[in-house]
Amino acid sequence: MAASHKEITAAEVRAAVESAYEKVRGATGGKNADYIPYLASVDPSLFGISVCLLDGTVISAGDARCTFGIESVSKVPTAILAMREYGALGVLEKVGADATGLPFNSIMALLLEKDRPSTPLVNAGAIAACSLVEPVGDAEGKWATIVGNIAELTGAEPQIIPELYASESANDFNNRSIAWLLRSYGRIYDDPDMSLDLYTRQCSLGTTAEQLAVMGATIANDGYNPVTNRQVFDAELAPRITSLITTVGFYERTGDWLYKSGIPAKSGVGGGVLGVMPGMFGIAAFSPPLDEAGNSVKAQLAIREVMHELGLNIFAASRLCICECRPTEERS
């Protein structure tokens, strides 16, 4: 028997977001990342959720417009950028698409798989992706491309958080080792120090849960940003980036996350999580305290709550869709 189709209204999404916010806001546990000193100083009580539907409706609760460090979520847009410039197969060949099963900043992973950094969504592959960005050899030109790409995906021009950039640059010894190991294996495609600096800069960009939800919606919408009404990247790249997010978005806890949540998502040590429900919506949540694998405790709970409330799971047989009824009443 064919799976039944269920429609979900914007009003139901709003109810799910508000209910998730209320249920999760008092949750405790986890602690801010402290290996980057700036992150330890961020208010741990901040908490926001945002969903962007494919008609451009944005539904948020809590601190969804609060700026925080994008950190590893920045690996997603730069992976898209590398695909835009080199094609999906080019990125597969130059960087790879496999999960490491090891922590995001693992040197061991690189030693074990020296032929490929494995995926642009862990540090080694993300530094390699920054090295690929055009124009090769021109740090400021590359930076403008990286920032411009994020602006197209979110609909907002991101700004560096200077204290975060300084804090991260002063403590990047592990990542520096990764950049130079990549160099010794011939898996970095521009100057290693410059590529590392671009990576550190992109991790230090400020973003908001609402902006990440719009980026998620753009991916869920085959590269078409539903807020700016612009085609940002080729539709054929959307399932590729979602597959990368699916396999490694929660570092070595990705399997547990998918099993529990039913949605591909990418986390960052700044406390942000970006989720993609293809054909339906983008979702993001932010709260600084992290679990031991570096994933935001409340952001995980909040996204799981929304998925649960809506009865959604990407691995379920029924193809669900958001109906476009009452978009004006629901637009926030």
Q: Which residues bind ligand GLU (CB under 6 A)?
A: 71-72, 104-105, 123, 168, 175, 203, 268-269, 294
Instruction: Decide whether 218 or 295 has the Cβ nearer to ligand GLU.
Output: 295
The minimum distance between CB 155 and ligand GLU, in angstroms, equals 22
H helices of the chain, in order, are: 10-24, 37-40, 75-94, 107-112, 123-132, 139-154, 162-169, 173-184, 192-203, 209-220, 238-248, 254-261, 297-310, 327-330
User: Of 104 and 233, which CB lies nearer to ligand GLU in the complex structure?
Assistant: 104
Q: Taking CB positions, which residue lies at the least distance from ligand GLU?
A: 72
CB of 161 to ligand GLU, least distance (A): 12
> For helices 10-24 and 297-310, what crossing angle results, to 10°?
140
Other CB atoms closer than 10 Å to residue 305's CB: what's the count?
21
Shortest distance (Å) from residue 123 CB to ligand GLU:
5
- Rounded Cα distance between 190 and 132, Å, is 7
- CB 98 → ligand GLU: shortest distance, Å? 18
Closest to ligand GLU by CB, 104 vs 281, is 104
Q: What is the distance between the alpha carbons of residues 176 and 225, in angstroms, rounded to a whole number?
A: 35
Least Cβ distance, residue 32 to ligand GLU (angstroms): 12
For tokens 């642009």, name the residue: 120
When the beta carbons of 216 and 226 are compared against ligand GLU, the nearer one is: 216
Q: Compute the distance between CA of residue 145 and CA of residue 198 in angstroms, rounded to an integer.
A: 11
8 Å CB contact between 163 and 224 = no
Q: 35 or 255, CB closer to ligand GLU? A: 35
Minimum distance from residue 202 beta carbon to ligand GLU (Å): 9
Nearer to ligand GLU, 60 or 105 (CB): 105
The CA distance from 131 to 32, in Å, is 29
The answer to whether 73 and 205 have CB atoms below 8 angstroms apart is no
Q: What φ, ψ does residue 55 adopt, rounded to 5°? A: -95, 5
Q: Give me 210's structure tokens.
A: 């609402």
**Minimum CB distance to ligand GLU smaller for 272 or for 282:** 272
CB of 185 to ligand GLU, least distance (A): 19
